[in-house]
């Protein structure tokens, strides 16, 4: 078979209207992508603000927790001191009732 003349890869000639239509389509696609990018950036900024608020709340909670733990330790120390005081009073009462003198009681308490 004979070969047909001319190139098979011939570029078709486009009219100005066709090129303008392609340009408009590309511009619309670009505008849509830019709008999507702006929406994503706005969402990211909103999340950053939310994260900042959460971190601030966590710091406040940590501070309050530390304060409560300090109060708990202070209350425990007061309770321990009160318990020791009651115990000492019971020992002193027992020693006084057994007939010990004040000096003997003091010597026993120092030990």
Domain residues for 69?
16-110
Report, as an integer, the average pLDDT of 64-72. Answer: 97
**How many angstroms separate the CA atoms of 75 and 46, rounded?**
44
Distance, CA of 75 to chain centre: 30
Identify the pLDDT of residue 81.
Answer: 95
**Residue pLDDT, tens place only, 69-90:** 999 999 999 999 999 999 888 8
Place of tokens 């969402």: 43
**Residue pLDDT, tens place only, 90-99:** 888 888 888 8
Identify the pLDDT of residue 75.
Answer: 96
- Contact (CB, 8 A) for 92 and 109: yes
Is 59 part of a structural domain of the chain? yes
43 or 13, which is more confident?
Answer: 43
**How many angstroms separate the CA atoms of 68 and 60, rounded?**
12
Q: How many domains does the chain have?
A: 1
């Amino acid at each position: 078979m004979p070969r047909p003349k001319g190139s098979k890869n011939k570029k078709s000639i486009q009219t100005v209207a066709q090129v303008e239509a392609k340009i408009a389509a590309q511009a619309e696609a670009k505008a849509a992508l830019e709008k999507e990018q702006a929406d994503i950036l706005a969402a990211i900024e909103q999340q950053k603000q939310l994260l900042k608020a959460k971190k601030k709340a966590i710091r406040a909670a940590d501070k309050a927790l530390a304060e409560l733990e300090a109060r708990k330790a202070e209350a425990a120390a007061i309770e321990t001191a009160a318990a020791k005081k009651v115990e000492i009073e019971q020992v002193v009462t027992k020693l006084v009732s057994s007939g010990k003198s004040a000096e003997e009681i003091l010597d026993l308490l120092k030990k």
